[in-house]
Amino acid sequence: MIRVCALAAVAGVALVSVGLPPRALAAAAGIETDPTLRLSDFAGLPPAAGKGYRVGTNVPIAGYYGQFSLHTDQGDMTVDGVSLLRQRIAEVGPADALQKLSTSEVFADALGQSAKSGAQAIGQAVTHPVDTVQKLPAGIGRFFKSVGNTVQDAVSTSAEKGVGSATDDALGVNKARRALAEKVGADPYTSNPHLSARLDQLARAAVAGGISIDVVLAVSTAGAATIVSATKAVSNLAWSLPPASVRERNEKELATLGVDPATRARLLDNPHFTPTMALSFVEALRRLGVREGANAFVALAAGAQSEVEARFYIAQLRMAHAHAQRAHRITSMKALGRVGGFRTSDGGLFVPVALDYLTWTDGVKTFIGRRDDRVRTRTAWFTGKLSPRAAAELHRAGWSVRTDVALD
């Protein structure tokens, strides 16, 4: 192995000396670049077009995640990955229901009063939502760029934690927002710029106009009621409890699992773990029921720098639970660079990876080549697909691989 790496290094120096561009160097070393796939290449997607939306047919891969072009009646956006695309498509109905509410008679005067109070900013958010969305890093590319034993990434402070302010809490805006979200089956803390702006607009209008959310139910369409019954992704706790109560509940659960106060604070202060996301993470960790290494895994997740990264760690926990149910019990958790690893009762290592398409890169090469003599077997589950080269290299390195794993 050392000899092969040395030869590759010498070859790399020779290639640089003749002035080949980076892409040519990568190709010569057998390293793959991000492809552009077709929508039909992805498994388990909702229909490519439906009521109020359609998805573009060409899908560039960035950071191992598809960059989907979603066109909706509320506006267009680029969606980072299959998981988030499913949610955005599921949010089309709730967004449409809120749009209909905004044009109803009961909201007409209230929206006018709310506009006088500074709701113009909401309109700006709706008009230019994608500018904000595209500032986030794409996929999980950085997870395989630098592999170490610990994670010291600083959490971005540019995103807001939750929604609203202390003033909004006092006025009842945040409570109205959660109630509206529940009525249409939406996450009150969604990062969907169109849906979030509409929730905020109507919540402020309801407070400004003295509208009871119970009255809103009376003017809701039958379609909105159907949306509520079909929504499964949002916890009732996110709808019913204010953020402070959600945090208190998560603090207690994490403490029970042996997570220290500083690590708990890092996770719950991370703006990408909204109350809904934090509830999902803590619930998944609780269901797994493993204390050994729990603190290290929470510290790892606390370094998430985007919603996609936060979702990645939640998916890891859910996949680990599924593996424990179908194969071998999980005995401990550990950080493998920026990715969580799980030790199993048969002495193996299990690495669940939520991504759309794995290409063979230097970072992936380094990750799968790491050695641990205490590990008897190495198993990796992927929610998406692998390039033929990546699949061959994983097999050559002794990994047992499963692809297109559906999250329960």
Arithmetic mean of pLDDT over the chain: 80
Report the distance separating Cα 319 and Cα 143, nearest Å.
18
**Each residue's pLDDT tens digit, 316-368:** 999 999 999 998 999 999 999 999 999 999 999 999 999 999 999 999 999 98
- Residue 39: DSSP 8-state: G
State how far Cα 223 lies from the chain centre.
27
What is the per-residue pLDDT for 192?
94
As to burial, measured by CB atoms within 10 angstroms (0-12 exposed, 13-18 middle, 19+ buried), residue 161 is middle
**Each residue's pLDDT tens digit, 141-192:** 887 764 443 333 433 333 445 565 565 665 688 999 999 998 888 999 999 9
Share of the chain above pLDDT 70, in %: 71
What is the per-residue pLDDT for 155?
37
**What is the pTM assigned to this prediction?**
0.82
Calculate Rg over the CA atoms of the chain.
Answer: 23
- Partnered with residue 400 across adjacent β-strands are 379
- Residue 95: DSSP 8-state: H
Long-range pairs for 177-181 at CB < 8 Å and ≥24 separation?
177/203, 178/238, 178/239, 178/240, 178/242, 179/213, 179/216, 179/239, 180/98, 180/101, 180/206, 180/213, 180/216, 181/94, 181/234, 181/239
- Residue 187: DSSP 8-state: -
Nearest to 15 by CA among 2, 24, 5: 24
Nearest to 32 by CA among 355, 364, 308, 356: 364
